[in-house]
Amino acid sequence: MPFLGVDAEVLADIQEFSRRKLRALVRERPLAWMGGALATGFLLGGGWKTRVGRLILLAGVRYAAVDAAGRYFNE
């Protein structure tokens, strides 16, 4: 039975492609993935509710904004 009009074989192909792509990205940039996992755990764990947590979160957002602006304006 199709799921949202998609055949099971197509879904299996999409899953396999996604799995391979994700593994390749993790191999290429393991520290970025570790940082993302750490940030997710920090946010979900409620670390942003403390003063130090807010400072860390603010610094991270500022860093990301400056990095994104630098990439955008340097192209």
Cβ atoms of 33 and 25 within 8 Å: the answer is: yes
pTM: 0.50
Structure confidence at residue 16 (pLDDT):
93
Structure confidence at residue 17 (pLDDT):
94
Query: Which of 43, 45, 73, 46 is closest to 61 using CA atoms?
Result: 43
Look-up of token digits 């792509």: 21
> What's the average pLDDT block by block, 10 residues per block, for the chain (75 residues)?
70 90 89 86 86 88 90 79
